[in-house]
Chain A
Amino acid sequence: MQARKKYVLLGLCTCCWLLLFYWGGLQERLLALLTRRRGEVVRPWPDWLDRALLPGYAENAELQNGGGPGESPRQRRQAWASIYKNSHCRMDTCFDFGRCRGRDGFRVYVYPPEKGDRVSESYRKILASVAESRYYTSDPREACLFVLGIDTLDRDQLSTQFVPNVDERIRGYPLWNDGRNHVIFNLYSGTWPNYTEDLGFNVGQAILAKASLNTEHFRPGFDVSIPLFSKDHPQKGGERGWLLRNTVPPRRKYLLMFKGKRYLTGIGSDTRNALHHIHNGKDIVSLTTCKHGKDWEKHKDARCDHDNQEYERFDYQELLHNSTFCLVPRGRRLGSFRFLESLQAACIPVLLSNGWELPFSDVIQWNQAVIEGDERLLLQVPSTVRAVGVDRVLALRQRTQMLWEAYFSSVDKIVLTTLEIIKDRVYAHISRNKFMWNALPGGLVVLPEYSTHLAHYPFYYLNLGISPGQEFTAVIHAVSPLVSQSQPIMKLLQVVSKSKYCSQIIILWNSEKPPPHRSKWPPMPVPLVVTDGRRKVSTSSRFLPHVTIETEAVLSLDEDTVLLTSEVNFAFHVWQSFPERIVGYPPRSHFWDPVKKIWGYTSKWTNEYSIVLTGAAFYHRYYHYLFSHYLPPSLRALVDRTSNCEDILMNFLVSSVTHLPPIKVAQRKQYKDMPGPQSTNMAPWATPEHFNQRQDCVNTFASWFGYMPLVHSQLRLDPVLFKDHVSVLRKKYKDLERA
């Protein structure tokens, strides 16, 4: 009986399990059901049973064949050149690269002005910028690019600046060649009521540098979108951005502001007519006025009177200063002045301009500086900007300033950026990458001919997570002939070569006498190179980009500099922390003379300085290149003519790039300073004439830069234990304290 019971039980259990097994997947099913009930799906795309059997999308052979060799490339290129014209222009088909060959191939020619032509203020500035740039040529035969003398900025037929008959005139130019290699600048196109992008003449194969470009008409990689700027935009230099400090929390009084016209009719009115909806009178101020045009009262609606009243209550400038975000909606055209205005004011632009090809969009990453809104989603703008976090506001705001100062603050910069973008296309394999365009200090001061490698520049160490090299090259500028072994240069050579960071020494022999024989130089643990500069004795040659300099750091020295090895070592250590600045010993300062209304220069001991002399200074070798290739020949000629000021010019250059002062480090003795009145034969650098020259230099340089780039500093960097009351034995740089 017991056994039977067992069998029955066993049988029943087996049955149950078999049944369960047959129906199977109970748990799985339960799970699926439960999750489905919560409205979620675990895995909606099925895991096919025959997944492994699915065919590949193409055979390996087919893929590697790449569609076969295709037609003859030569024929295809010829065919393209005839098909892709006008609105289909690309650099490959509408640009004659042959005109830009050679090392200095990128030359820009400006058509001479014609009699009776009126040129607008803005266009005059553009032409002046081209003519002053280092790419200008007056010879059309060597030109790679051509800029018209006819003012094409305003192509609104209703405008007083409209130039008629452009078509006929340009076709008469022998160089026109259907616009090949021409750049046409334009700010306004089309007219009431449609404001089309038509310029009123046939642009042909010319590159358009145009404001308010529409993405649909923009020929990618060919046209350049430029910002709309006013006729008061400065030619050079330009105002700095308004952001003086990074306040925390970064929010300003108003979150979002707009003050402008409301179009009652016509193109662009869709957006402008709706802007008042987001006004809340508290942190979002959106003010519109109906007053514009002659007959606005005809279209006047119920809102107008109240809106107009409210409009008068706020000041635009005040709003600009006190808003975190600024609405930049389209006007009749896509671009507007307020774009640059808010950029400068560090008021983060919120764009409502669908289809606008943003200025210099080829190279600038705009999403790091502006909020790109959508005209269709105007009502979402408040919640979008509210959701932007503290860190992001801080970053966006700083980026507006970086872009403003790098590319937009003057007509010079706008024109030069346009030219550089085209140049980067022409020499694509020696061009800046996106990082160079978007990181500080901006693309205009990064010359890709120097190097296309980021680590070769002084600006990007931190971004790349690397540090500057451990060695330097000493470059000694020698002008007096070698007559005795006790000359200062001998001592200097020994001192410098003893530094463990010194990898080579270069002597720039700039004396009329030939350089002495090798054996005359003292024996040294590092290689010595003597370059003979007699054929071309020039002061600026000390900053020639000598290919022999292999290290990132350069120690520039005058032959009569008196230094100690430990001073050199300490300064080099400091430079490694500040590789983008000049780190040196003797300081100088500039100041504004309010009476004479000029810049003054002083070598007196002061509590602050803005220049360190390059007679003894460390800096990155890139500045040699920048000095020789970025600065105009006129400034370098001035330096050569007077044999003076090259150090001031270098300080101007570096400070204009970094926006920061140089760094002075501790020094045992004051170098070449305060010549005592007792000294009878004054050195050339101590004469009053020399000093006046330097004062003139400061003013000449400031006018070329368009502003005063030099920045004052009040500090000096000393070794940590410098002159501390502690045993000298503990001090690494004890030599610095000896009298």
Chain B
Amino acid sequence: VGFGLIMCASVKYSSRGPALIPRMKTKHRIYYITLFSVVLLGLIATGMFQFWPHSIESSPEWTLDRRSVHDAPLVKLPVSSPIPERGDLSCRMHTCFDVYRCGYNPKNRIKVYIYPLQRFVDEVGVPISSTGLSREYNDLLSAISDSDFYTDDVTRACLFVPSIDVLNQNSLRIRETAQALAMLPRWDKGMNHLLFNMLPGGPPDYNTALDVPRDRALLAGGGFSTWTYRQGYDVSIPVYSPLSAEVDLPEKQPGPRRYFILSSQTAIHREYRTELERLKEENGEALLLLDKCSNLSQGMASARKRCYKGQVYDYPQILQESSFCVVLRGARLGQATLSDVLQAGCVPVIMADSYILPFSEVLDWKRASVVIPEEKLPEMYTILKSIPHRQVEEMQRQARWFWEAYFRSMKAIGLTTLQIINDRIYPYAARTYEEWNNPPVVKWSSVSNPLFLPLIPPRSPGFTAVVLTYDRVESLFRVITEISKVPSLAKLLVVWNNQNKSPPEESLWPKIAVPLRVVRTKENKLSNRFFPFDEIETEAVLAIDDDIIMLTSDELQFGYEVWREFPDRLVGYPGRLHLWDHEMGKWKYESEWTNEVSMVLTGAAFYHKYFNYLYTYKMPGDIKNWVDAHMNCEDIAMNFLVANITGKAPIKVTPRKKFKCPECTAIDGLSLDQTHMVERSECINKFASVFGTMPLKVVEHRADPVLYKDDFPEKLKSFPNIGSL
């Protein structure tokens, strides 16, 4: 209706135009009329969006308005509203968790729903919590809602997170909080609900799990003991230390520190303090026992200061000055100090019997901390002294890494918790030990060999020879005839890379005892030689050029035997080396008579078929296309690939012989040879930059038969014909 009315008005207005602007030309008039109409239309549209949105948007609660927490709707709890049962200690994922809600999911990722914020009050209007939504819980919920886990569709959710803040039990009214939980629309006996609590229990006996009755809800708790923690169901989380957001402690290089052991906690039981003081007496300066400061001037934050005999130290900075830091239990098992200690890169010495360490389901605390039974406190110094220095340094690094990845913020804590639950629901897609525990620097430099099992495969399946050819038929046939003499050859595969010419007729091919297959390729690409053809049925592949006719049957058979002993490596004949050119400041390719080897040419090399998959489907960056475009360096790329994933050098077999290969024959004179070398050097530099590192390993050995060149009757040797030129 409004739209029509304004339209009328505008028509009326424009009709009055001539009176208002009498001498205006018609052209101008039309111009102004159009202008006004556009402006008015704009206004109308704005008006529509302004007044209609409530009918368009589905949930009016959560618009993008920046709103106040106090605007959240108020919910009154009737006195008689039901109270959930106390947590069931026998709950496990298969008994108390409804897995059907999570279902099969191609991404293997659980969906998490967050309840909208409500303010619960009892019948007389007193809120159920003295603090309401805390900053930390708000951070946690925003982090979840920003993550991949989040869904706003309550029907598709697998896990529900209430917006009722139960981080600190002390600020809660237990009974009313429980009633509020039970009032949640999808509560359903707490099934698939996740509660976050960092400070459980209350004086005097401090329970180790949240006292709020919660039916079957999962609990992410900070301070579980082994008797309250339901293994595989609950998640043990850290007690977040807000200090870590306030204070910026840059990472300190691992190494020996000024103090050996530091105790910074303020509420240590008298019995333990006496023990610590005795240790201090015995070992002197190596220990520093701090306590709270008794006579600080007004206005100084006592939380940031510690004292020893009147001397004042800054906390948490002082933690960085010690190799080990004591984390003793208080009335509560979980201590925020742990987070501060880890942040400082100090190795925590945890003495809290029965305590379930944070995220212990996935984190290997033995690599980042020392756990000592409380009873053994007097032996602490001896125990810590027995740890090798290098290990202490590694633990310092590991401690800091744990803090950075899992303790640093509420976001880190929340998402780690969800990831752990995710790993339980989709165990076959779970993160590995290495992913959880290895700091980035180790992840980067370490290798995880896909063929890690030490196996010497049986000889009998033999190997498949893959000959890449273009049109050198005569030479190809000679190669085929030569290779067919090798006892362990199982099959010969010719990769015909010439699209313009058909391979010779079947009758023309050499007659050999093993099956011979010819595959025609669609494009003349070098990478075709490394394609994982279905025709290759053996593990061992011999890649060979169509002009390598000088290898004897003994040499090839021996090469296969060597490959069996090193099935995860490239085993080849001509060896090459990469060198660092100090003048040019880059890598250089070397094919001269060197004493070292870091690559073998794939013009004649054995390797595992698995590497064909890797080359074809997992080659990093644009290397594969680059190789195909330049028609060069496919062998260097293969060497990089294998060395990078296995961390091992290739094996060169048998003595050097004259190979008919581009860089050693130099048919077309020196200049071509030099261009070739330059190109190959470029390849190395290019690949090293794509891999982000130089994975090639240099070795000084090659493999020969045990009795090679030994003074022993030739006819008794297994491989007599080796190294003939």
Contact = CB atoms under 8 A, between A and B. Distances in A.
Interface of A: 1, 5, 8-9, 12-13, 16, 19-20, 23, 26, 28-30, 32-33, 36, 41-51, 54-58, 60-74, 77, 80, 84, 88, 90, 92, 97, 215-216, 218, 220-221, 243-249, 354-355, 365, 367-368, 371-372, 374-377, 380, 383-384, 387-388, 390-392, 394-395, 398, 401-402, 428-435, 438, 440, 451-456, 462-466, 570, 573-574, 577, 587, 605-609, 658-661, 664-666, 670, 711, 713-726, 730-733
19 contacts: A12-B36, A33-B57, A45-B142, A51-B138, A55-B135, A64-B337, A65-B267, A66-B332, A97-B373, A248-B612, A249-B613, A365-B432, A377-B99, A388-B428, A401-B453, A462-B449, A719-B700, A720-B596, A721-B593
A248 B532 contact: yes
Nearest to B197: A57
A466 B397 CA distance: 15
Given A51-B138, A57-B137, A248-B608, A722 B702 contact: yes
B331 A726 contact: no
B165 interface: yes
B330 A66 contact: yes
Contact of B701 (A66, A74, A573): A573
Contacts of A48: 66-69, 138
A575 to B, nearest CB: 11
Interface in B77-103: 90, 92, 94-95, 99-100
Contacts of B717: 607
A297 B472 CA distance: 73
Contacts of B213: none
A448 B198 CA distance: 34
A717 B702 contact: yes
Given A429-B372, A453-B388, A376 B444 contact: no
A216 B232 CA distance: 10
Contacts of B725: 725
A70 B265 contact: no
B610 interface: yes
A391 B66 contact: no
Contacts of B668: none
B332 A56 contact: no
A61 B170 CA distance: 14
B334 to A, nearest CB: 8
B613 A64 contact: no
A77 B561 contact: no
B12 interface: no
B647 interface: yes
Contacts of B308: none
A-B CB proximity, top 9 nearest: A465-B445, A70-B331, A66-B330, A67-B332, A67-B331, A45-B145, A453-B391, A354-B94, A245-B457
A401 B454 CA distance: 10
A387 B354 contact: no
Given A73-B271, A394-B450, A433 B331 contact: no
Interface string B587-625: 000000111110000000000111011000000000000
Contact of A719 (B65, B452, B595): B595
A372 B242 CA distance: 38
Interface in B440-461: 442, 444-458, 461
Contacts of A377: 99-100, 104
B135 A51 contact: yes
A70 B329 contact: yes
Most buried by B among A13, A455, A607: A607
Nearest to B365: A433
A714 B330 contact: no
Nearest to B64: A32
A357 B655 CA distance: 56
Given A433-B367, A570-B700, A372 B427 contact: yes
Given A45-B144, A70-B332, A355-B94, 7 more contacts: A20-B43, A57-B168, A68-B331, A69-B269, A73-B374, A376-B100, A462-B447
Interface string B218-240: 00000000110101100000011
A12 B39 contact: yes
B60 to A, nearest CB: 12
Most buried by A among B370, B432, B447, B701: B701
B311 interface: no
B114 interface: yes
Given A48-B67, A720-B596, A247 B336 contact: no
B433 A365 contact: yes
Interface stretch (B44-52, B281-289, B495-503, B672-680): B44-52
Contacts of B354: 80, 90, 92
Given A61-B303, A462-B447, A723-B709, A90 B226 contact: yes
A719 B199 contact: no
Nearest to A398: B453
A439 B198 CA distance: 34
B141 interface: yes
B718 interface: yes
A720 B331 contact: no
A223 B99 CA distance: 28
Given A26-B46, A55-B131, A246-B453, A394 B701 contact: no
A714 B367 contact: no
B710 interface: yes
B705 interface: yes
B34 interface: no
Contact of B390 (A19, A30, A61, A453): A453
Contact of A64 (B266, B430, B447): B266
A418 B139 CA distance: 44
Contacts of B649: 577
Contact of A718 (B135, B152, B608, B704): B704
Contacts of A5: 21
A438 B706 contact: no
Contacts of B442: 464-465
A77 B152 contact: no
Contact of B433 (A368, A392, A577, A731): A368
Nearest to A90: B226
A454 B387 CA distance: 12
A32 B706 CA distance: 75
B521 interface: no
A720 B701 contact: yes
Contacts of B171: 57
Interface string B110-153: 00001001000000000000011111111001101110001010
B580 to A, nearest CB: 17
Nearest to A58: B168
Contacts of B682: none
Contacts of A608: 706, 718
Contacts of A665: 701
Interface string B297-336: 0000111000000000000000000000000011110011
Contacts of A390: 613
Contact of B53 (A33, A74, A724): A33
B19 interface: no
B415 interface: no
A577 B458 contact: no
A609 B706 CA distance: 8
Most buried by A among B20, B106, B329: B329
Nearest to A218: B231
B593 A429 contact: no
B49 A464 contact: no
Nearest to A465: B445
B219 to A, nearest CB: 16
Contacts of B114: 44-45
B251 interface: no
Contacts of B703: 715-718
A33 B58 CA distance: 10
B56 interface: yes
Nearest to A431: B366
Contacts of A43: 64, 145-146
A232 B705 CA distance: 42
A8 B39 CA distance: 14
